[in-house]
Amino acid sequence: MTVLKRNPAIIWRVERQREAEVKQALAAGDDPGERGTVLLIDSGTMHQLNLVGGTIWQLIDGTRTAADIVADLAVEYDVSQDELIGDVEAFTSDLLQRGWLLHG
Amino acid sequence: MAEFTDLFSAPLTFNWTLSYRCNFSCVHCYSREEAAEELSTAEICSMVDILAEKQVPFINFGGGEPLVRADLFDVATYATSKGLNVSMNSNGWLLDLAAAEKLKAAGFKSVGISIDSADAALHDDFRCMQGAWDRAVGALQALRTVGLRSTLSAVISRINYQHFRQILDLARDNGVAQVYLHNFKCSGRGFKNREELDLSPEEWKAFYVEALAVKNATTDISISFDDPVIASLPGYAENPLVKGSSCGKLSLHLKPNGDITPCGFIPLVVGNLLHDDFDDLWKNSHILNAMRNKEAKGKCGSCGSYESCLGGCTARAFATTGDFSEPDPHCWK
Ligand code: SF4
């Protein structure tokens, strides 16, 4: 399995305050909604990633395969392995198609 | 505006005037009469640290002429090492092949050269500098030789508005990736000389209708306008990140002494990057919040384009009326 990396043409940043607020809401059992925690700009158009997407995006640093990312997420999220594999697969194939991710 | 700073924890770009010094003295310049203490390299690097910490992705050095500061290359190298995307705008006079190589090595992502006309004599006259055009074009060639992305900036005024196609051709001939046709700002000398240089609202409309049609039909070169007042035109198909002026929202300006202003054309100091808490300024500055929450005054109140135009260029409205919310004086509606 190849490692994944972010397309360097994509400008992005973690909106740390929002990320902390969303994590806090989740810990308190509240619904954080679809509030974006990572801001991403592709050719002048802005997009946002939600907490799970943003976390996966940050893990895609050119050293990890999809399986590595699932393993890292399993430490942070109390979700079944199958669900994590499905989430990572869906997210990465969408972003590969958009050209935001590349195979390392 | 809580929602705005909730979405953007910091601007995306800082337009950074490292020095107001310049080897030129142009008739439209906003900054020739400006003066500010300049900071040391170490202090500038401390500001870079703050911008990196706030995850500001872009800095663009302007001026004055950025190349008059000998430490420009060191500052850019440092900013690049901190993950910032660095660009600059220059008059090109000092940008020979050796300088282009140093800019490339310092990590510059792109370099903009100001050329206001494809006619060398007209450009030299406008810039009050014999030989300016030759050296500006030479700068584009040097950037092309070292493989550094170049852009071309022209301030649209009476001298060039009917000849912008030739400027595009000049850009093509010199491998330029993007052309900025900047709207004329009534600041500094631009304000003093505006009778002579500025177009009438009807002329602006005619220019933009034509320039938008050219832009929409052009695929080999990217053409950009930074003028929110064009949002009311039918040919306008952009979907910008924010409506209206982006100053104070997506971008801020840094003066040589670290003072922050909403943009280079609005002389109101929001605070100082080295001495004040940036997050507090960004969220709570009355100036920034007034710019983000303009109210539709005058003819804007009954204008169907207000939602996308937001009264046009805030800097121009402020320069001519002292009020952010008055209609842009270039508006033809
Ligand atoms: S009247 Fe105001 S809102 Fe309408 S186009 Fe002119 S500046 Fe923009």
The set of residues, in sequence order, having a beta carbon less than 8 Å from that of B247 and lying 6+ positions away, is: B253, B262, B263, B265, B266, B291, B314, B315
Distance B142 CA to ligand 1 centre (A): 42
User: For B99, what's the count of Cα atoms within 13 Å in the CB-facing half-sphere?
Assistant: 20
Contacts of A46 in chain B (CB under 8 A): 241
**Mutation target vs A (from B12, B82, B178, B283; most A CBs, 10 A cutoff):** B12
Res B189: pLDDT: 54
With CA atoms as reference, report the closest residue to B26 among B161, B112, B122. Answer: B122
pLDDT (mean) for A53-82 = 92
Q: Is the dihedral of CA B317, B321, B325, B329 positive or negative?
A: negative
- Could you list the residue range(s) of the whole structural domain that residue A50 is in? 4-103
Res B20: pLDDT: 80
CATH, residue A90: 1.10.10.1150
With CA atoms as reference, report the closest residue to B57 among A84, A38, A25. Answer: A38
Res B42: pLDDT: 97
pTM value is: 0.88
Q: Which residue of B has its CA nearest to A42?
A: B241
Q: Where are the alpha helices (DSSP H) in A28-100?
A: 51-59, 66-76, 81-98
Q: In the block, which residue shows the tokens 């969303």?
A: A22
Put simply, the answer to whether B9 touches A11 (Cβ < 8 Å) is no
Put simply, the answer to whether B241 touches A14 (Cβ < 8 Å) is no
Contacts of A15 in chain B (CB under 8 A): 7, 9
Kindly list the protein residues whose Cβ atom lies closer than 6 A to any atom of ligand 1. B 229, 232, 299-300, 303, 305-306, 309, 311-312, 327-328, 331, 333
**Mutation target vs B (from A13, A38, A47, A49; most B CBs, 10 A cutoff):** A13
Res B129: pLDDT: 81
Distance B333 CA to ligand 1 centre (A): 6
A4-41 confidence digits (pLDDT tens): 999 988 999 999 888 988 989 888 988 877 778 999 98
In chain A, pLDDT over 70 holds for what percent of residues? 99
pLDDT in tens, chain B (333 residues): 446 887 899 999 999 999 886 666 655 655 556 667 889 999 999 999 999 999 999 999 997 889 999 999 999 999 999 999 999 999 999 999 999 999 999 999 999 999 999 999 999 888 878 899 999 999 999 999 999 999 999 999 988 999 999 999 999 999 999 999 988 765 555 566 676 788 999 999 999 999 999 999 999 999 998 889 998 887 777 777 788 999 999 999 999 999 999 999 899 999 999 999 999 999 999 999 999 999 999 999 999 999 989 999 999 999 989 999 999 999 999
Distance B267 CA to ligand 1 centre (A): 23
The values of phi and psi at residue B153, to 5°, are -115, 130
Q: How far A50 CA lies from chain B's nearest CA (Å)?
A: 13
**B239 contact A CB<8A:** yes
Burial (CB count <10 Å: 0-12, 13-18, 19+), residue B122:
middle
Question: Residue B71, SS3?
Answer: coil
CA gap B19, B258 in Å, rounded = 11
Put simply, the answer to whether B9 touches A15 (Cβ < 8 Å) is yes
Pairing of strands B259-261, B251-254: antiparallel
CB B90 within 8 A of CB B142: no
Res B190: pLDDT: 52
H or E segment and range at residue B319 = helix B314-321
The arrangement of strands across the sheet holding A38-42 comes to A11-14, A38-42, A45-49
With CA atoms as reference, report the closest residue to B178 among B225, B223, B116, B226. Answer: B223
Task: Give the ipTM of the model, two decimals please.
Answer: 0.78
Res B1: pLDDT: 44
Ligand 1 site-directed mutation target among B328, B330, B332, most atoms within 8 Å of CB: B328
Q: Which residue of B has its CA nearest to A12?
A: B57
CA gap A20, A16 in Å, rounded = 6
- Tally of domains within chain A: 1
Going from the C-alpha of B157 to that of each of A7, B200, B260, the distances in angstroms are 39, 10, 28
